[in-house]
Chain A
């Protein structure tokens, strides 16, 4: 039941994207996300969608798996579309009581939906093809310049990687706890909101206890191995750019140029 959440989960496969340096993927994703905000134009979104489609195909992650990740933002998506549709002023094409749907509103909500979907798919693709460890390595490496202004880059990256690492563990645990309580006749589905919230107590209490216990154990294990922060720490597999990364950057630049050309002149 909880396995549908794909955000922050790694999908193991052997593809160009999986082998790519995580920094390339991180920067690439950022460039892609920025490109979505540059222009409000249909051809640009079409290009962005095609680009993402090709990249997803290259990643060997099944498309159905990607779409599952969208389920979690369905509400947000509908809400944004609805709000934009109703409250953007302009040429009225349909009205009911005090509500008005305008041509501009429809246009705006269409773009909004496209942007949100591509945004989520784009960032999901990164986490699906990159293990959390590699992702935080990349973040640490990309944020290195901030060390000069005393930002604790390593500590932030370590916290991130621990948090990401624990998402699947806690999801798994929640699943087990829910099953254990279901076996004792728990009912998570029926009843009103208050009853439903109350029925979650038998899940949340064991979950929190276990999360604290795990945090404690982890801290102990790290200390036992003399962890003392980032100073003087080296990596077993340092990140290294390969040919495919330069090729990827070239493709990204081409894509960005394409977006700008289409956005400006079409």
Chain B
């Protein structure tokens, strides 16, 4: 088996079972996550993406299908799911749902303590995690409740990183942040990945977030996987994405409009840098 870190195998999950409002949140979902990948998981609200990520660390048990991690079925009886949650670190959208300690340092220690590390190791990994997410030293002894929204989110990410996960799953990490906070957080994640080779799954409904950074995009709609491909290929389906309430990045639309207006630009560009290049090229050719 060549490097298949995590396999989602025919996942099906339903909410409100046994009532007249059964919702099929996941409908036969299959994919593979390989070590070192940077994946964007996108979908409209209610597309099932949050449900899906809660399966990755076995918080939810699928009605049928299963998850294999390192080749082992995680829903099998006797599988150590607590250890799995250390390896597949899931950071939820709202840091308010998990901050409870008196200081940032204690907060970040919670995860590694649960993982059963000894005190010295706990403190070392916690400190390292706080540094990795770029929190200043003076935050360490502050109450996590006194921090700004962006900093709280960093604490939440640090508290998961402190468990030394192999896969880091971030559920809407940029929701509710201002543009500056958003850029800072995303570049921090990119840096983490480059420095430590950690596998990252970024859940988002913002195309701008994912287009610029990820290597592969999984698009979900109504509990099914619609596309699973490299960003350029996914965003070439701009019309189909719009039909399910998503969109391609704004620069892609500009390029398409330019093309329609007679400029010879490459419409597959998805980032600002790519757009700039192709537009400049088109302009120089014209003259």
Question: Is A bound to B?
Answer: yes
Which residues of A are in contact with B by a Cβ distance under 8 Å? 11-13, 60, 62, 64-65, 173, 176-177, 179-187, 201-202, 205-206, 209-210
- Whether A202 and B100, one on each chain, are in contact in the complex, defined by CB atoms closer than 8 angstroms, is yes
Bound state CA distance, A71 and B34, in angstroms?
44
In the assembled complex, 21 residue pairs joining A and B whose CB atoms fall closer than 8 Å, in A order, are A12-B20, A13-B20, A62-B18, A62-B19, A64-B18, A65-B18, A173-B97, A180-B98, A183-B89, A184-B85, A184-B110, A184-B159, A184-B163, A185-B86, A185-B163, A187-B114, A201-B100, A202-B98, A205-B100, A206-B100, A209-B145
Check B131 for interface membership: any CB of A closer than 8 A: no
- Whether B145 and A183, one on each chain, are in contact in the complex, defined by CB atoms closer than 8 angstroms, is no
Complex partner residue of A183 from B18, B85, B115, CB under 8 angstroms: B85
Q: Most chain-B CB neighbours within 10 Å: which of A12, A60, A177, A180? A: A180
Residue of B nearest to A208 (CB): B100
A contact residues around B94 at 8 Å (CB): 176
Complex partner residue of B82 from A12, A65, A187, A206, CB under 8 angstroms: A187
Bound state CA distance, A12 and B16, in angstroms?
12
Residue of B nearest to A182 (CB): B59
Closest Cβ–Cβ distance, residue A146 to chain B (whole Å): 37
- Extra contacts besides A183-B85, A202-B98 (11): CB < 8 Å: A176-B94, A179-B92, A183-B91, A184-B85, A184-B98, A185-B86, A185-B115, A185-B163, A186-B114, A206-B100, A209-B96
Check B148 for interface membership: any CB of A closer than 8 A: no
A contact residues around B110 at 8 Å (CB): 184-186, 202
Check B185 for interface membership: any CB of A closer than 8 A: no
Secondary structure type dominating chain A contacts: helix
Check B133 for interface membership: any CB of A closer than 8 A: no
B contact residues around A12 at 8 Å (CB): 20-21
Size bracket, chain B contacts: 20 to 34
Complex partner residue of A210 from B21, B57, B96, CB under 8 angstroms: B96
Q: Most chain-B CB neighbours within 10 Å: which of A13, A65, A187, A202? A: A202
Bound state CA distance, A187 and B110, in angstroms?
12
Q: Most chain-B CB neighbours within 10 Å: which of A64, A177, A184? A: A184
Closest Cβ–Cβ distance, residue B149 to chain A (whole Å): 14
B contact residues around A205 at 8 Å (CB): 100
- Whether B96 and A206, one on each chain, are in contact in the complex, defined by CB atoms closer than 8 angstroms, is yes
Check B90 for interface membership: any CB of A closer than 8 A: yes
Complex partner residue of B160 from A13, A64, A179, A183, CB under 8 angstroms: A183
Bound state CA distance, A209 and B95, in angstroms?
12
Check B43 for interface membership: any CB of A closer than 8 A: no
Q: Give the top 10 A-B pairs by smallest Cβ distance, nearest first.
A: A185-B114, A205-B100, A180-B98, A183-B90, A184-B111, A180-B97, A180-B92, A202-B100, A177-B97, A179-B59
